[in-house]
Structure 1
Amino acid sequence: MSVWLPQGYREVSELEVKRSRFLTTVARVEDEAGAREVVAEVRRTWPDARHHCTAFIVEMPGAQPVERSSDDGEPSGTAGRPMLDVLRGAGLAQVVAVVTRYFGGVKLGTGGLVRAYSDAVSLAIDGAPRVRPVVSSVSEVTFSYADAARAQDAFAAHGLRVLDSEYGEAVTLRVAGDGELLRGLAAEIVREDVAIEPRGEHLVEEPEPPASA
C-alpha cells in the first residue's frame, strides 16, 4: 500500500549541479486536477526558467493509479520518467513533484540529467513526513442513554472510533472499525444481541513512523 504526504504539505528544495539550479516543489494533491494546478502555480512563480519538469501519482477509489510525467523540453526520458521512478520507489501517491531548472551554461549530458533530476526529487522527499491511509468500515448502533457512555469508553479502549453521536429517544453512534468487534462489545454492554447497520467507509490518515524507527 502506498503512503502519502500529509494534507497541505508543500515544500521547495534546491540542488545545484555544475551551475544549473534545480528547484524542486513537492506537494500533496488529491487528484490529477490538483496536480496540474500545482504545476501551473510553479510555472507562474518562476516564469523565466527554461524547464519545469513534472511527475505525479494520484490514486482514486476503484481505479488504477494515474501516473504522468513530462520532460518539458529536456531530452526524452531524462527528467520526467526518472522523477516518476523516484516517487514510485518511495511508495508515494497523492503527490506531485515539479523540478524547475535554471541552466548554468554547462551541459550535463543525458546521464547527468537523469542523475540530477532523480537526485533533486530524492532530496525533496528525503525526511518528509508520511501518512498511511487506513480505510475502516462504518457502522451505526443505538443505545439507551444509560449505556451510551459505557459503550463509547469500551469502543475507545478497543481501537474503535466514534465518529459522531445523535441524541433522541436513544443515542445513536456512528463507529468506524471492525464490525464484528463492535457487535461483540455492544452485546456485552446491553447483554443481548444488538442491531448493527452498515454506513459505508471512513478514511483516516495515520502517521507513518520513519524508516529508521
Structure 2
Amino acid sequence: MSAPLLSVTGAVKRFGGVQALRGVDFDLRAGEIHALLGENGAGKSTLMNLLSGVYTPDEGTIQIDGRQVALNNPREAQAAGIATIFQELDLVPTLDVAANLFLGRELMRPGGFLDVPAMRSEARKRLEAIELAIDPARLVADLSIGQRQVVAIVKALSYASRVLIMDEPTAALTVAEVERLFDVMRKLAASGVGIVYISHRLEEVPRIAG
C-alpha cells in the first residue's frame, strides 16, 4: 500500500467549551476516494475546514507526502495542493465558464487587455480533459447545478491540486447528474488525485468510495 498523500494525526479543535474534534487520525492516499459520514455535529465540516485552512487545529499535525505543514489560511492550503469545493460553489453566475476558471488569474494581451480567446481555448481543453462538453462562452447562470459542480471541480484542479475535498456534492443534483459527477470523480482518482467525499447519503458511499 502506498504512503499517505495526506495524513492527519491527533487533530483536536475546540470552540469555547465545545470540543468539535477529539484526537482525529485520518489518511488519504493518491487515487483514493475516501468517504466521511456522520450526523450533523459529528465533526465532518470541522475536519474539512482544518484541511482547507479555514481553521487551525488546537492540537495535532497535518502532513502532505510525509512532510508536516501548517495551513493557516485557505491560500496556504491551496498552495499545498488542497482544494475544497463547498456546497456554496465559488463561481460567479454572471460570468462565463472561461472567466470563472481564470478568475483572478486572467490571461492578458499586450496593453493590458483580457485575452478572451486564449482563456476560452484553454478552458475548453481543461473541460475536454474530463470529457465535459460545455461551451466555455456560456454563462454559469445558464448551466445546470450538476454542470456548475463539475466546472467548480475543473477550477479547483487548475491550481494543480492533488487533494480534492467535496462537501455534500450531490445534495442538489438529479440522479443523472450524480452519475455524471461520480464518473468525473472516478476519472480524477484514476489520474492520482485523492478525494475526500463528505456525504450523509449512505446509499451512495458503496458506489463511489472504498
Same fold (TM over 0.5): no
The answer to which structure has the higher strand fraction is 1
More relative contact order in 1 or in 2 (CA 8 Å, sep 6+)? Answer: 2
Relative to the length of structure 2, the TM-score reads 0.21
Relative to the length of structure 1, the TM-score reads 0.21
